[in-house]
Amino acid sequence: MASSGNKNINAKLVLLGDVATGKSSLVLRFVKGQFVEFQESTIGAAFFSQTVAVNDATVKFEIWDTAGQERYHSLAPMYYRGAAAAIIVYDITNQASFDRAKKWVQELQAQGNPNMVMALAGNKSDLLDARKVAAEEAQTYAQENGLFFMETSAKTATNVNDVFYEIAKRLPRLQQAPNPSGMVLVDRPADRATGASCCS
């Protein structure tokens, strides 16, 4: 299938974020090119896959779209364990969802795969009149924490594919240079024990 020199990689990607920020809508837009006003609320998590081509490589995303209700967060490690990438979603019209997004970033930085590519998505960018979170604030936060940031709209499709393409491009396995330009790597001590719980 793939001609020699081509790379085909699988990348596990997880979407995290507060309830009703539009995680499922972003996935539906990316995977099927659709938007529906009301789609079933996600329980546990839903799985999707979609392939994107970047230069001479193809990346098959294995996407886990998680449930947002607080009590479901205890299940999250099962979905982000071993993930190559994460999209942390907040709703630009909802300040609390931005605060929640920051907590997810902290958790992933501490518990997730150290090479994880993280994107911060400020969704519902079509609802400009109701904006509560300034783009600059999110941009600054993202830069300080080694994420890349985009405002998206699952409704109008703005920047949705772009987030996934950008992630694909930044996946370490597609990178020649160890430190890809534009991506601030988080410098963290060796305490990021992954997965296995061994502390006493």
Partner 1 sequence: MYGGGSGTHQSKREMSLEYQAQISILRPSIRARRANMTVKFQDVHGFTVEGNVDDVNVLNEVREKLRQQCRVWWALEANKGVNWYLETHVSSTLKSSLKFSALVNAITLKRLIKKGIPLNFRPKVWFSLSGAAKKKSTVPDSYYNDMTSAVFDMVTPATKQIDQDLPRTFPGHPWLDTSDGHSALRRVLVAYSFRDSDVGYCQGLNYVAALLLLVMKTEEDAFWMLAVLLENVLFNDCYTYNLSGCHVDQRVFRDLLAKKCPRIATHLEGIDFDVSLVCTEWFLCLFSKSLPSETTLRVWDILFYEGANVLFNVALAIFKMNEEELLVTHQVGDVINVIQKTTHHLFDPDELLTVAFDKIGFTTTTTISKQRKKQEPAVMAELDQRLRRLNSLHENGDEN
Ligand X SMILES: Nc1nc2c(ncn2[C@@H]2O[C@H](COP(=O)(O)OP(=O)(O)O)[C@@H](O)[C@H]2O)c(=O)[nH]1
42 binds Mg ion (CB under 5 A): yes
19 binds ligand X (CB under 6 A): yes
Name the segment binding partner 1 (CB under 8 A); options: 68-76, 122-130, 166-174, 176-184.
Answer: 68-76
Pick the binder of partner 1 from 35, 52, 54, 107 (CB under 8 A). Answer: 107
125's tokens: 């960018």
24 binds Mg ion (CB under 5 A): yes
Pick the binder of partner 1 from 3, 4, 5, 74 (CB under 8 A). Answer: 74
Nearer to Mg ion, 57 or 104 (CB): 104
100 binds ligand X (CB under 6 A): no
68 binds ligand X (CB under 6 A): yes
Size of the site for Mg ion (CB under 5 A): 3
Pick the binder of partner 1 from 9, 102, 155, 158 (CB under 8 A). Answer: 102
Pick the binder of ligand X from 94, 113, 153, 159 (CB under 6 A). Answer: 153
Beta bridge partners of 17: 89
Interacting residue ranges for ligand X, rule: CB under 6 A: 19-25, 37-39, 42, 68, 123-124, 126-127, 153-155
